[in-house]
Chain A
Amino acid sequence: MYLTDRSAPVKAGTDRPRRRGPGRTVAPVVLVLGTVSLITDISSEMVTAVLPLYLVTTLGFSPLGFGTLDGVYNGVSALVQLTGGHLADRVRNHKLMAGLGYGLSALCKPLLLLAGSIGALGTVLALDRTGKGLRTAPRDAMISLSTPAARQGRAFGVHRAMDTTGAMLGPLAAFLILRAAVDGYDAVFGVSACVAAVGVLVLVLFVPGRRHGPKTDEAVGDAADDAADEAVVADGRQPVRVREALALLRLPQLRALAGCAALLGLTTVSDAFVYLLLQRRAGIGEEWFPLLPLGTAAVFLLLAVPVGALADRVGRRTVFLTGHAVLLTGYALLLWAPATPALPVAVLALHGTFYAATDGVLPAALAAVVPDRLRASGLALVGTSQALARFCCSLAFGAAWTVWGDGPALAGSAIGLLCCAGVASIVLRPAESSR
């Protein structure tokens, strides 16, 4: 898909850094990491766009054969994210872990060519997903650690906007190659590997290694952080992985954010279902179905930076919650709005706004809560709980669809989302003053 990956929602984004007004304050590291994400997403979405075609037309897999490949990596990826985040903190080298993740995914691109069977292909795709899981938390931690607390939202917005730009350019590149070389799937994979290598190279050459940044200190430093630091000082010498994560969970603010992210994730219907419902409700021609995610991505792209900046000003929790209210509005339109030509536009706009208000804003909100030394672990923890919750939601939504039909299932999710958002707004409110 063109959007962030649902299985590990705290990551993909895109961005278009806009240098307007006083907003030229994004740390160079963020721009470099954004560039890395942009290039890497071009590479991975090139493959994503043509993989089904390749499987069916060239390898001759039947639909069901492809189906068995699909959807088995979600849980794994979330757990890998946790591992990546923790290891990055443990070896105190976020760049190394992120580089390993990007490198692993880059290696997988040429391997796709050699994988002729479902089993081999499944292995390569699993490795690719592992790379993605490994790099997410360290990368977000680097963004977070290089940015002062007051500008986290904008920084993540810039990164997500750049990331999404890459995701939108990828399919374009892939289909241009296929036009130049009919059946040239090997060329698509080859070029994708080259592009991925450039991404890794930019990371290796231009992202500063180790902990860095004089700005780091000001990023922390509120009362919550002191408490947090105390909590980890106790077992800060190389504690067991699970222990350390649990210690983080003792931080009330982190617990609140992780809990709310999971709670809201439980009622966030996966994108595929949203597009399917939209297509049914609005009577969109099936041939246009593959383009629906592009609509969401475009809105996400346009709004990621301004909404991120807004979050810095009015409070990230507020924006995060508002994002879910926007999503709720989208559900309401899907449920009750008449099928006018404006419906798909409105729903996709709301859906994209939801991503802009949540995808980068959540990690931005964590910056003030998680101590520097455990930043990647903390980000991974929240990301993983959100991903697993969304995965459970997908399963539950499928079951509800079966029992009640699509409309009632969505209505159920909407009511659930309303309740969860209510709870979340109460839980997150007291912390509002500290953003």
Chain B
Amino acid sequence: MTSTRRRLLILVAAVLVLAGVGTGVVLHAAARADRANRPQAGGPAVGAGTLTLDQKSRLVFVNGAAGPHRTAVASVPSAAPDGRRIASDLKCARFYAAAGTGVCLQSTTGVLKQSNRALLVDANLRTRRTFPLAGTPSRARVSPSGRLVAWTVFVSGESYSSAFFSTRTSILDTRTMRLTPSLETFTVVRDGKPYHASDINFWGVTFASDDDTFYATLNTANKTFLVRGSLSRRTVTTLAENVECPSLSPDGTRVAFKKRILSRTDLWHEYVLDLRTLKETALAERHSVDDQATWLDNHTVAYALPTEGKVGRSDLWSVRADGTGTPRLLIAGASSPAPL
């Protein structure tokens, strides 16, 4: 009896201590979240302003700098990327825009699950349409004309212990508002023959200027392929192996992509593939790039790299697309670049 009482006392004491620790941890994190929403000394200048997607010579991105505009879509002059940032009210996990059409992938935390959605926005960043997403936002793209929009989410309704993970890539025709919920319904042609598998995953769409052709990553049987697809014919054809997150150059001749440099590891280097000759060129970036790059012009690509020493923050870098030169810090505390 005494022994039971003593054990109960120990338990109560321990629970009190642990509850205190737990509360402290949560309060600490909450305070940090608060700080992230306050501007920091030495941080970049960010101010609210009018941001439209039909402005020329500007670069839009998702602002990652601490302050009230963190995660807001912001823009800077292309010629002065370290200049004052103009931030909008639109907050996104991932964003892309072209020719007056924007797509914003959002993720909010609900009570039982996270709630994810894609917003199709017009040039004034007003929401035209909302689409529920099946998972965590990963990639977003708009075709050069602004007509087609694609997004990839990472689907996981299961625990890390289950052999189940999946990506889902959707394409929206903004003129007809017709949504292709999953590219997995498309016919796959591999080495000239129709290919079927249950483990097919697509991600990282990039569009050509004809509003039909697209490139994407196809993953099956532990391999990744660059595929060229046709939206109207609902087919994709494999072109090259070990190509992820392609990004088509403005002139349509090359794709920048990340290549896994050692099998079964998560180290990727950024390359450019000439679509005519299928010749690969390694870019000068020596860090592992895990992003879908964006072409700033026909000679330069931009991509996000994790900020050293800061978990959960990234910076935008740029490098020449011909393999020469050295990487250059484009915008600190930013992600999802899109040149207007």
**Which residues of A come within 8 Å of B, CB atoms?**
1, 5-7, 45, 48-49, 51-53, 56-71, 73-74, 77, 116-119, 125, 129, 171-172, 175-184, 186-187, 190-191, 194-195, 197-198, 201-202, 205-206, 270-272, 275, 285-287, 289-294, 394, 398-399, 401-403, 406
CB pair B158–A53 under 8 Å, yes or no, is no
Q: Which residue of A lies closest to B4 (CB)?
A: A206
From the candidates A63, A186, A398, A403, name the one contacting B25 in the complex (CB within 8 A).
A186
B168-211 interface with A by 8 A CB criterion: 168, 181, 196-199, 201, 203
For B26, what are the chain A residues with a Cβ–Cβ distance below 8 Å? Answer: 177, 180-181, 184, 187, 190-191
Cβ-defined partner of B306 (8 Å) among A60, A64, A294: A60
Q: Which residues of B contact A69 (CB under 8 A)?
A: 160
Residues of chain B touching chain A, judged by Cβ–Cβ distance below 8 Å, are 7, 10-11, 14-15, 18-19, 21-22, 25-26, 28-30, 32-33, 36, 93, 107, 109-117, 132-136, 138, 152, 154-165, 167-168, 181, 196-199, 201, 203, 219, 224, 244-245, 264-266, 290, 304, 306, 311-312, 314
Give chain A residues whose Cβ lies under 8 Å from the Cβ of B199: 398, 402
Interface of A, helix, strand, loop or mixed by DSSP: helix
Contacts A62-B138, A191-B22, A289-B157 known; A68 to B162 CB distance under 8 Å?
no
Whether the pair A184, B33 counts as a contact (CB closer than 8 A) is yes
CB neighbours (8 Å) of B244 from chain A are 62, 64
A5 to B155, CA, bound (A): 19
Q: Are B161 and A287 in contact (CB under 8 A)?
A: no
Taking A57-B107, A272-B163 as known contacts, 20 extra A-B pairs with beta carbons closer than 8 A to each other, sorted by chain A number, are A48-B159, A52-B136, A53-B107, A65-B290, A67-B165, A67-B219, A68-B266, A77-B161, A116-B311, A175-B109, A183-B312, A187-B30, A194-B21, A198-B18, A202-B11, A286-B133, A287-B117, A290-B113, A291-B112, A403-B196
A to B CB contacts below 8 Å, 7 in the list = A60-B306, A118-B265, A175-B112, A184-B29, A187-B26, A285-B132, A287-B134
Chain B binding surface SS class? mixed
Please indicate the chain B residues that have their CB under 8 angstroms from the CB of A74 in the complex: 161, 163
- List B contacts of A398 (CB < 8 A): 198-199
Closest to B14 in A: A201
Chain A neighbourhood of B134, CB < 8 A: 286-287, 289
Are B157 and A292 in contact, CB atoms less than 8 angstroms apart?
yes
CA distance A394 to B199 in the complex (A): 12
The residues of A that contact B25 with a CB separation of less than 8 Å are 186-187, 190-191, 194
A171 touches B112 (CB 8 A): yes
Complex CA–CA separation, A163 to B219 (angstroms) = 37
Q: Specify which chain B residues have a CB less than 8 angstroms from the CB of A51 in the assembled complex.
A: 159-160
Q: Which residues of B contact A61 (CB under 8 A)?
A: 266, 290
A285 to chain B, nearest CB (A): 6
> With the chains together, A178 CA to B30 CA distance in Å?
9
Closest Cβ–Cβ distance, residue B259 to chain A (whole Å): 12
- Residue of A7, A180, A197, A399 near B161 (CB, 8 A) is A7
Q: Given A190-B21, A286-B155, does the pair A181, B32 have CB atoms closer than 8 Å?
A: yes
Among A180, A190, A287, A294, the residue within 8 A (CB) of B133 is A287
Looking across the interface, which residue of chain A has its beta carbon closest to that of B311?
Answer: A58
Q: With A63-B203, A285-B132 known to touch, is A180 a contact of B30 (CB < 8 Å)?
A: yes
8 cross-chain pairs, A with B, having the tightest CB-CB distances, nearest first: A71-B163, A286-B134, A184-B29, A181-B29, A190-B25, A401-B198, A187-B29, A290-B157
B219, closest chain A residue (CB): A64
Q: Which A residues are CB-close (under 8 A) to B152?
A: 63
- Chain A residues lying within 8 Å of B11, measured Cβ to Cβ, are 201-202, 205-206
Q: Closest chain A residue to B155 by CB distance?
A: A289
**Cβ of B228 to closest chain A Cβ, rounded Å:** 20
Which one of B29, B114, B136 contacts A186 once the chains associate, using CB atoms below 8 Å? B29
Q: Which of B30, B111, B201, B290 contacts A181 (CB 8 A)?
A: B30
In the complex formed, the residue of B with least CB distance to A202 is B11
The minimal Cβ–Cβ distance linking A392 to chain B, given in whole angstroms, is 12
Closest to A56 in B: B136
Closest to A189 in B: B25
Whether A197 lies near B18 (C-beta < 8 A) is yes
A65 touches B160 (CB 8 A): no
Contacts of A272 in B (CB 8 A): 157-158, 162-164
